Structure 1
Amino acid sequence: MTILLTGAAGFIGSHLTEYLLSAGHTIIGLDNFDNQYDPGRKQVNVRLFKQHTNFTLIEGDIRDQTLLAGILKRYACDTVVHLAARTGVRDSVHEPAVCIDVNVNGTLSLLEAMKKVGLKRLVMASSSSVYGNSSVVPFQENDDANRPLSPYAMSKRSAELLAHTYHHLYGFNVACLRFFTVYGPRQRPEMAISRFTAKLYGDQPITLYGDGTTSRNYTYIYDTVLGITRAIEHLNGFELLNIGGSAPISLRELVVLLEKAVGRKAVIDWQPNQPGDVYLTSADLTYAKTKIGYFPSVQIEEGINRFVRWYYQSVVCL
């Protein structure tokens, strides 16, 4: 299988690239190496597989429809995995125009390029943020997802709706994967687990917003990659699928796990709740298990230990 993978140099994209290459697939990786966070981190990610004979790296932007169509045609891609995005709830509150341009117009550009070359297989990243502060717990794929609390959430829901339109009009086979707070080695530096770990090793206060009771369903990167590959294998029709961990934990419980793994006590800097943040994310995985055989295998305690070991070896010891 020849796969165009957008966002190939990022956190999830680099892990997925490694896995798909090991499974014998050909990967055409597209990334714009933007400066939302240090692009040098992405360059380090890419070094892991840049010389692989079945990997081609192209630096470019998903909003460039001509570029996308040219890539799809030149390399005879048969599937697209779309992970490229402007990430982050809080960043989107401060820069909504950039978020919406990349996530909505970029997805539209990709869909149009696919239509132009007659390619109809797409697996794309969505987000648990589309559920907002849902009153139904755990979140199910058929719940109302039309009350976003941030531009980021709105952009991801809009991308889902665009994809459904192309399924309806042109027969695209699409799986929209609603990721629930992915973590693990190479996680983006602004995300909570990375940020808290850095603060612990640096003997600096950890900033917590609210009262520490907000909860997230954290998903280890191995399980996320498994969900993506299962979606590729079972791609048919239009699907919304939760790809999450086994159970949510509170922010305060997360800090306790990190304290144990790092071996240091945190100093907490308490701050008010941030605009755009949801109180809880909780994935109902029943449908994903039925449709694609997805279920997470890495519990949060083990995942945190794995992440901290990687962080110590790759960051602290350098």
Structure 2
Amino acid sequence: MKFLVTGAAGFIGMHTARRLLDDGHEVVGLDNLNDYYDVGLKHARLKQLTPYSAFRFVKMDVADRDGIAQLFKEEQFQRVIHLAAQAGVRYSIENPMAYIDSNLVGMATILEGCRHNKVEHLVYASSSSVYGANAKTPFSESDRVDNPVSLYAATKKSNELMAHTYSHLYSLPTTGLRFFTVYGPWGRPDMAPWLFTEAILKGQPIKVFNNGKMQRDFTYIDDIVQGVIRIQNFVPRRDDKMGIDSPSENIAPYKIYNIGNNEPIELMEFIRAIEESTGEKAIKEYLPMQPGDVPVTYADIVVLDNVISFKPNSRIEKGVGDFVSWYMKYIAGSYD
């Protein structure tokens, strides 16, 4: 099939596009290559995709209404995996308009492109951040998500509402995936695995927020990609009762799934895994909780497993080891 993968130079986007290409699909990868973090890393990720003859890269912002509309018209994609977004909970406090443009306007242009060009299935990235201040764990797709604690989370919840509207009004099949703390090789420099590994190897202190009393449902990138690839084959129907549906009698072809490891890890345990992989001890600077953060994330994945017979299950020791090994090679210039 012919896929559009937005955010193709991003962490999850690159891995997803490569898996689709390995499976024999044609992929158009779209990314604006912004400078939120090192653009060199984004170019290095793209170099993993350019050897494939079935891959073509388009540099474009998802908020470019005319450009996106023309791209959809020319390419006639069968399926779309929309992973492009302005990422980062804390950065949304500093630069909120970047999230409005990328996450809201960008989602609208993708929905319009899918609607007008009869795309079979739109799979898009939501986030565990939508659960916000929810106290009940594990987080279930049936939980109310009305208390976001960051603008990033609010935009992701908005994406789900927008998708439901298009599914209901235009019968566009959409599936939202609530990712839980994705990590692994080619991960982002602003996330804990990279920040901790870099600081530990340099003998610099690491910032441990909430005095280390944090739990995250760390989910390895290979498990995330496996979930994305499997779920895009399960196209929602109006009469499908699995997952999260419209409360109306005329159920929309719309689904939401958690993708997480279903096993929260203490932050201190995650740090110990990095110490073991690097062979160095961390210098810890204990700090209070940061605005927009939550103390725990924990995915209920029963619905996902019922649909695709798959549960993420990579152990933290393997995942962290793989990341540290990749990081050391990348910093050494092995991927130039």
Superposed displacement of residue 297, structure 1 = 3.0
Distance 1:284 1:52 in 2: 36
Which of 268, 272, 280 is the aligned partner of 1:252? 268
The aligned residue for residue 238 of structure 1 is 254
The aligned residue for residue 28 of structure 2 is 28
Q: What does residue range 187-202 of structure 1 map to in structure 2 within 5 Å? A: 187-202=187-202
The aligned residue for residue 134 of structure 1 is 134
Distance 1:10 1:171 in 2: 29
8 Å contact 1:123–1:232 — kept in the other structure?
A: yes
Superposed displacement of residue 317, structure 1 = 6.8
The aligned residue for residue 269 of structure 1 is 285
Distance 1:84 1:247 in 2: 27
The aligned residue for residue 82 of structure 1 is 82
8 Å contact 2:215–2:295 — kept in the other structure?
A: yes
Superposed CA offset, 1:113-136 (max 9, x none): 222223241000000000012122
Distance 2:34 2:154 in 1: 21
The aligned residue for residue 310 of structure 1 is 326
TM-score (norm 2): 0.92
The aligned residue for residue 164 of structure 2 is 164
The aligned residue for residue 67 of structure 1 is 67
CA separation of 1:23/1:154 partners in 2, compared to 1, >3 Å: closer, same or farther? same
The aligned residue for residue 311 of structure 2 is 295
The aligned residue for residue 16 of structure 1 is 16
The aligned residue for residue 154 of structure 2 is 154
Superposed displacement of residue 186, structure 1 = 0.7
Distance 1:231 1:118 in 2: 19
Distance 1:271 1:40 in 2: 31
Q: CA RMSD in A?
A: 1.2
Distance 1:94 1:3 in 2: 34
Superposed displacement of residue 316, structure 1 = 4.5
Letter in 1 for 2:208: L
The aligned residue for residue 180 of structure 1 is 180
Distance 1:29 1:110 in 2: 14
Classify the secondary structure of the residue corresponding to 1:210: helix
Classify the secondary structure of the residue corresponding to 2:212: coil
Superposed displacement of residue 51, structure 1 = 3.1
Superposed displacement of residue 65, structure 1 = 2.1
Task: List structure 1 segments (4+ residues) > 3 angstroms apart after TM superposition.
Answer: none
The aligned residue for residue 219 of structure 2 is 219
8 Å contact 2:4–2:80 — kept in the other structure?
A: yes
Larger CA deviation: 86-95 vs 249-258: 249-258
TM-score (norm 1): 0.97
Distance 2:327 2:114 in 1: 38
Larger CA deviation: 134-143 vs 61-70: 61-70
Letter in 2 for 1:130: V
Larger CA deviation: 114-123 vs 162-171: 114-123
Query: Structure 1: which 5+ runs fail to align?
Result: none
Q: What does residue range 104-143 of structure 1 map to in structure 2 within 5 Å? A: 104-143=104-143
Classify the secondary structure of the residue corresponding to 1:211: helix
Query: Structure 2: which 5+ runs fail to align?
Result: 237-252
